[in-house]
Amino acid sequence: MTDGKRSTVIKIISYQLLVIIIMTAGFALAGGKVFALSAVLGGAAAFIPNLYFALRVYKSAGQEARKIVNSFYAGESGKLLLTAGLFFMIFQLPNIEILVLLAVYMAALSVFWFALLMR
């Protein structure tokens, strides 16, 4: 992975984390601990799988094309399994505000779309 692409990935992951922090703070002020926890969990459900994917792809940099493609597929599969597992665990918790959780989750994922528009 070239330095330009690496820095783009780092920027996207950083912006995603920033969106999660800002939204968590906002929901914490608006609704207290339950909203804050729900926001953090929604952010984690988006951030952790995306970080896994980014690290998986980063490790494949400089390898032959077939290995890079396989790394993308494995990374995406792992990302989907992580997301499903995280949501499964999150939904076992009592007193979670689903709308807050999903709002932060979708906002964190939308960072990728805005990054594409900015290019």
At 18-71, the pLDDT tens digits run 999 999 999 999 999 999 999 999 999 999 999 999 888 888 877 888 888 888
CA-CA-CA-CA torsion sign (114, 73, 53, 85): positive
pLDDT above 70 as % of the chain: 93
Taking residue 30's Cβ as centre, other Cβ atoms within 10 Å add up to 11
Distance CA 82, CA 84 (A): 5
pLDDT in tens, 62-105: 788 888 888 889 989 999 999 999 999 999 999 999 999 999 99
pLDDT above 70 for 1: no
Higher pLDDT, 2 or 28: 28
pLDDT above 90 for 5: no
Q: What was the pLDDT predicted at 6?
A: 64
Give 115's pLDDT tier (boundaries 50, 70, 90): confident
pLDDT above 60 for 2: no
The closest of 63, 54, 28 to 42, measured between CA atoms, is: 28
Q: What was the pLDDT predicted at 60?
A: 80
Read off the pTM: 0.86
Q: Where are the domains of the chain?
A: 3-118
In angstroms, what CA-CA distances link 40 with 1, 85, 104? Answer: 30, 16, 8
Distance CA 116, CA 74 (A): 23
